[in-house]
Each structure stands twice: as structure tokens, then as C-alpha cells.
Amino acid sequence: MPRLSKSSLSPTSSGHLHRQAFDNSLQANIIFIVSNGRIVKANKAACKLLGYPKKELLVKNRKDLFNITESGYKRMLRQRKIEGFAKADLSVIKKNGNLLSCEITSVIFKDDNGISNSILSMVDLSERLLKQKNIDADNQQSVADNIVIAQSKSDNRDLENTDWIKSIARTSYDLIWDWDITSDHISFGGNYEKVFGYSLQKYKIPFKEWIALFLSEEGKAIEKKINRIFQFETNNWEDTYSFTCPDGSPGQVISRANIVRDKDGKAIRMIGVIHDISKLQKLEGILEGEIRDKEKQIIEAIVEAKEMERSDIGKELHDNINQLLGASMLYLDMARKNPGDSEIYLIHSSEYTLTAIEEIRKLTKGLVTDNVTNFGLCGAIRNACRDTMETYPIKIHCSLDDTGEETMSGKFKLNIFRVFQEQLNNILKHARASTVHISYSQMETGYTLTMEDNGVGFDTTNQMKGVGINNIISRAELYKGEARFISEPGKGCLLIVSFPPSQN
């Protein structure tokens, strides 16, 4: 990324255009004050990436977005302090608390008042995996074309000494190379060590000397691929080759080049880029591993929830219903042994039996799915709230929009109902709340269920590992939704569960 000069942010026509370009850039950009880390500017792409409204993001600090004690973050700051420019792969904290792996580029500049600012660009690495393969060819070909144009206009043909080519070398994800076939010398940009894992002793070296740096078979394969193009009249070349890094790990690159020929068609120069695809392959492997781990966590959470549900049913049957039926049997036995007082004993036995029946009815209501099938999602929630208020000293307010519910699948409605049941159970067991507000709505942006209580609350940074909470999060993720808990000790809890419309 190029440095921003004072004029780029001044209130001139040019400055206005720069601000428009900054605000509407597709790349997420944020500007911090270096001394205190306060955010002073953020564009639309940054707000979208992090999930913040712009006004809310502009009152945040860098410590709200990064773990500033992380070693990778500290290394980036050291590099930026020395060079004025730094690049690193770091985790960014989104508004919902989730971590997002990003490639971070940070550059120092001074504003109109001479205060040191840093402009920070963020690239979602998971998104880059999906897009990189489609845009690599166009980007790298454009770089190569520009180098050829610059080369043709240059009197001394010394690409290494031009400022703009150095900027490309610093910010490009590729390694730029220039092979003067006539003199048989090849030179590379500053990213050579990042791609191949070792540095060159000289900026320019003979082509044969460069090939000798590879393992014998690898060098021969590369030389064969390059020499093959001289047999054709093409002015463009692209190929892939593998190599072994100094640490023994395998590497793979894509090399693209423009070929400059003399009037007789003889190749006299090749200028191009080398792109490291090993990093993409590693990231793909990491992403696939994370997806597998996430799927495993969801399955484990569901299994654990089922086991917990069975355990709760067993406890309820043993500790409550079994005791009620035992007391009923005791009174029946006393009635049989004492005929004179049998009526009183039978009345007590009947009371305990009816209580046991009522407890069994409430227990089965939580298990049977006919409630959602017969009454719909909103109807089932209303019925459950009414039954809860009859049994517990709690007031529940419902605002439920059943518009379009008939288009929802039965499994999707049941999944939302189970989320509602789980959170209501959490509130009754742990929150000690007197009031609960429940709302459900469906809009073009998707489906949203919110549940807010006035209970004791909890610290979301320390108490987000319970089975009930994990089960809610897993049920949301099953339909690519998101569950967010907003709570503080003594201030109740707000649960927001949202699903995209495509998941119904």
C-alpha cells in the first residue's frame, strides 16, 4: 500500500476525492492515531468486515480489535517502527466476539497537524482463499505488462532503481523477476526469501547460478520448462514448478512472464512474477481442518445435550415423580391397614397421584414435537410461556410475528423452538429473573429470536462454556446462524439468535 501524504487528506478537491476513494474502497481500511491507538477513520468495507456501525467503530481503540499482547502483533509494530511499513497474518476481533484471520498491512504517515497516524488494511484470509485463484492471473499479468511498458521507456533499463517498482515489491503478494537473456543475468524483487525460504547473496546472478540453487532434479525440470518456450513465438509464458525449501518442506509456485523479443523474434528478456501457491495450499488445509473441528464440536455438543437431556429426565423421574408415586403407594398401604381412616389416606394418595401425573405431563411437553406441528412455532412458544408462568413466579412478555411461518420447514421451526426451550430453561435454573421479554420476527434479512431477562447476568468472557450455551450456539450454527449473548453481572442477559433467509 502506498504511503498517504498530507495532501491526500487535506480539505482540497484532491483530498475530497481521496476521502471518497478511501470510504468506497472494497478493501477494509482503518486509520489509527499511533500514540494512543484511537480509531479516527474507517471505511464501509471495514465496518462490514468487523460487523460495526461506523459511529460505533469510530469510538473504538486498536485494543478492541486486536490482542495487542500477541507476539505476532508486537512483531508487526516493531517492523512498522523500523521500516514505516509492516505486513502480518493476525486475528481480528469482530463485534460479536468471533476471531477472524486476516492479512494485515500497516503503513505510517503524518496528518496535516504532523501527528503520526497508521493506515491499516485488512484482508479476510478465508475470503482470499475463495477469490485468490480467480484474480491471480489478471493481477499478475497486469504487473508484468506494466513492468514491460516501464522497461521499454527506460533509458538505462535499470528496474531495480525506480521507486514505483520498489513499492510493488513491498506490497505485492508476488516475487517480481527480470531475466536479461542477452547478458544471462536474472534479478528478483525483495520478496525472494518469503517465497523460497532463503536469501540471495547478490541482487543479480547468472541464470545458471540461480538454477544451481535448487536440487538437481528440480533445477533441471525448471530449466527444461523455461527453455521450451524459446521454441515457440509466443510472447507470454506460464508454468508451475515445485521445489524443496531449506527446512525440507515442499514448495510450489506459479511463474508468469512476458517475453521481449528482438526484430528477428529472438527472446532477449523475460519479465514476470512468481506467485507462491504453497501458502494458499496450507491455508486451505488449515481451513478444512477448522471446518472439520467445528463440525465435530457441533456433533459433540448435540450428543452431549442429548445425554444431558436423558440425565435430566432420569433425575426427574427418580427424584420427583418416583417420590410422589412412592408417597401415593404408602398412603394406599395405610388405607388398607387402617379401614377406619381409609378415606383420608385415599384422598392423600389421590393428591400425590394427580401431582405425579401433572409432573409427567410437563416433562413430556418438553419432549413431544407435536406442539410445534399442531400450533406452529409462535403458538408453541406462547403455550410454553403460559405453562411456565402457571408453574414459576415469573412474568413473560411475548412479541411474536408468525407472518410467513407456513413457508418454514418443520425441522427449522423445531430447531428455533429448541433454542427457545434451552434458553428459557437456563433462565429458570440460573438467572433468578422476574421478567422475560421474548420476540421473534422474520424479515428479508432473515429470522431473529431474542430473549432478554432481568436476572443476575454473568460475565460472557468467563462463563460461555456451559452445555446449555454451547447447545444454543451449535443449534444456530447448524443452519448457518449466529447466537450472541450480551450480559454483565447484575444486568440480566440478552440472547440474539439470527438465521439467514436462505437456511429455511
* pLDDT tens digits, 333-385: 888 888 888 888 888 888 888 888 877 776 666 554 567 877 889 998 998 89
What 3-state class would DSSP assign to 177? Answer: strand
The span from the CA of 3 to the CA of 172, in Å, is 15
Res. 204: pLDDT tops 60? yes
Q: Average pLDDT in the 410-425 region?
A: 88
Q: pLDDT value at position 159?
A: 42
Query: Which among 104, 103, 109 has a CA at the least distance from the CA of 34?
Result: 109
Instruction: Give the model confidence (pLDDT) of 432-483 as tens digits.
Output: 999 999 999 988 888 999 999 999 998 887 755 566 788 888 888 888 899 9
Residue 101 clears pLDDT 90, i.e. is over it: no
117-144 pLDDT, tens per residue? 889 988 887 766 555 555 554 554 555 5
Strand order in the sheet with 39-42: 39-42, 28-33, 116-124, 99-110, 85-93
Question: Of 33-42, 230-239, 278-287, which one has max mean pLDDT?
Answer: 33-42
Instruction: Take residue 313 and report the three cell numbers written for it.
Output: 429426565
For the stretch 237-276, pLDDT in tens is 787 877 787 777 777 777 888 888 888 888 888 888 887 7
**Looking at per-residue confidence, does 203 or 257 come out higher?**
257
Conformation bin of residue 499: beta by default, left when phi > 0, alpha when psi is -120 to 50: beta
Beta bridge partners of 117: 33, 109
| CA trace torsion 351, 356, 359, 361 (10° rounding) | -100
State which amino acid sits at residue 429.
K
Q: Is 246 left (phi over 0), alpha (psi -120 to 50) or beta?
A: alpha
* Three cell numbers, residue 301: 455438543
CA angle 437, 423, 413 (to 5 degrees): 90
Residues linked to residue 38 through DSSP beta bridges, in sequence order: 61
Calculate the alpha carbon distances from 203 to 148, 152, 170, 186, 210 in Å: 20, 21, 16, 8, 11
Query: Could you give the domains of the chain?
Result: 6-127 (3.30.450.20), 154-276 (3.30.450.20), 286-365 (no CATH), 368-504 (3.30.565.10)
CA-nearest of 405, 487, 491 to 440 is 405
Residue in 286, 269, 276, 235 with CA at minimum distance from that of residue 136: 276
3-state secondary structure 206-223: EHHHHHCCCCHHHHHHHH
Q: Beginning with the edge strand found earlier in the chain, give each strand of the sheet holding 446-453 in spatial order.
A: 395-400, 435-443, 446-453, 493-499, 482-487
Amino acid identity at 31: I
Write the DSSP assignment of 303-333 as a string of letters. HHHHHHHHHHHHHHIIIIIHHHHHHHHHHHH
**Mean of per-residue pLDDT scores for the chain:** 78
